[in-house]
Copies of this chain bind each other. A is one copy, B any other.
Amino acid sequence: MAQKPSIPKGTRDFSPAEMAGRNWIFETIRSVYRSYGYSEIETPSLENLSTLLGKYGDEGDKLLFKVLNSGDAFSGIDYSEYALGGGAYNSNALSLRLSEKGLRYDLTVPFARYVVQHREEITFPFKRFQIQPVWRADRPQKGRYREFYQCDADVIGSSSLLNELELVEIIDKVFRRFGLNVSIRINNRKILTGLAEICGFPDKVVDITVAIDKIDKIGLEKVREEMLERGLTEEAVAVIEPVLLLSGSNAEKIDAIAKLLGGGSPSGIVSEAGLKGVEEVKELFSYIDGASISNEVVLDLSLARGLNYYTGAIFEVKSLDYQIGSISGGGRYDDLTGIFGLPGVSGVGISFGADRIYDVLKALDKFPAGLGETSRLLFANMGSVPYIIPVAEALRERGVPVEIYPDQTKLKKQFDYADRKGIRFLSINGSDEEAAGKVNIKDLENGEQRLFPAGDIDAILEFIGL
């Protein structure tokens, strides 16, 4: 009758050691968010499907996990209505008939819903952060999970670029605390709009950005080809190409792109939107230059992530020491809450990719030493346990995690327990120690062993180094 236990593909158990690393990541991000005045919220895992559907494109809709209505969900339905013939059914329509709720797909749409629903009680500008799992019915593969945490911060209700600066500072500080060197890439959606305008294809901004976003992966020649395949002319490509070749400092790139968008490109077209984007980038970099950012911040004109809703700044962060793709990103969106009835509210946000950051920290051995330590001291169980209980209790009150081995069993087994759990100090006390009112403690790291009066908690604390 016994089942062989397993978990759904794309999901994970987290062991104590993994939890220690993950909690450190979350706490680091949380404390930096808090230091900038961001407040934490949580939203339910289950949202109404009407909240989620249509927000992530057709592909996203398919990746939503839908939850069956409870009770007698299946009765009163005429299944023949949904039949497509040959045993096939209209799954989309049927699933909506059978489920009203879904698991959240990201933290951004629930946040937009939250802002609209609670707008009367929110103080704007609203700086919130949120660290919770999300679910996607994606095909699982290495590094891609069906359930994973997002760590988002957003400011909503302010269009000041100081918010962008603050998010760059936060990114910089978080990775500094992780001990990771990163490259913070910045672009602006308006510049991408401008590129489409000056090349004469203002309606092809998505095609252009999808193509140029790949330049790091496939190179300039293939990007050219892809733009042509996507319907651009040779002349249009000739306008875009110099932008992709821009190099030099951020200031030099800003000057050059300003000229191209201001009528200096082969087409001679001027893009007002594009010039607005340049102004924004210029202002943001002037703030960045005045702040103490220790990681490199680079204007990357091919950066286009999340084009669906970004309208201003676009951020992306890459590890410089370990190849793994983007480990953080974000941007500004001007009308996220419009769909829920609150139009014209501007917001900007970032998100940290906890799973990838975990992989990088692990690969580069950057987790702090002692992170996974559970207990500092194990009292072996030699039968004289009641005598030990108050000592253990006093140590715990002083902040030391302490265990008493529960079973009176072979010392070898108790020793192995301390060893496998990485407990550094072992205290073995028999009737002699009890009679003398003493506690014997051994440092398993260097073999040093000492005897303390059971009541001398200060001396014990000094010995065990906490």
Q: Are B42 and A8 in contact (CB under 8 A)?
A: no
Is the CB of A143 closer than 8 A to any CB of chain B?
no
Is the beta-carbon distance between B393 and A291 smaller than 8 angstroms? Answer: yes
Q: How far is the CB of A258 from chain B (nearest CB, A)?
A: 22
Contacts of A442 in B (CB 8 A): none
CB distance from A27 to the nearest CB of B (A): 10
Q: Is A73 part of the contact surface with B, judged by Cβ < 8 Å? A: yes
- Whether B400 contacts A46 by the Cβ 8 Å rule is no
Given contacts A70-B137, A74-B94, A390-B292, contact A13 B43 (CB under 8 A): yes
Decide yes or no whether A1 CB sits under 8 A from chain B.
yes
The reply to whether A91 and B65 form a contact with Cβ atoms under 8 Å apart is no
A226 interface contact, C-beta 8 A: no
- Residues of B within 8 Å of A286, CB to CB, are 386
Interchain CB contact (< 8 A) of A98 among B68, B123, B146, B408: B68
The answer to whether A189 has its CB under 8 Å from any CB of chain B is: no
List 6 interface pairs A-B (beta carbons < 8 Å), by A numbering. Answer: A3-B50, A8-B44, A16-B128, A66-B68, A166-B404, A291-B393
Give the interface of A toward B (CB within 8 A).
1-8, 11-16, 19-20, 23, 34-48, 50-51, 62-63, 65-68, 70-79, 82, 84, 87-91, 94-95, 98-101, 103, 113-114, 116-118, 121, 123, 125, 127-128, 133, 135, 137, 146-147, 155, 158-160, 162-163, 165-166, 169, 286-287, 290-292, 338-341, 343, 374-375, 378, 381, 385-386, 389-390, 393, 396, 399-404, 406-408, 417, 420-421, 423
